[in-house]
Amino acid sequence: MALFRFMVIDEDGQRVGRFDSDDPNWHAGDTFTLDEQLLRIVEILPEVSTMVAYNAVWVTTPGRSSRIPFDTDPDGSNPSAVHNLCRQDN
Q: 50-78, pLDDT tens digit by residue?
A: 667 888 999 999 987 544 444 444 455 55
Write down the pLDDT at residue 83.
Answer: 56
Q: Where are the domains of the chain?
A: 4-89
pTM of this prediction? 0.68
Q: Which of 45, 33, 36 is nearest to 85 (CA)?
A: 33
Residue 21, classified by CB atoms within 10 Å of its CB into exposed (0-12), middle (13-18) or buried (19+), is middle
Percent of the chain with pLDDT over 70: 64
Task: Give pLDDT, residue 63.
Answer: 86
Greater pLDDT, 14 or 53: 14
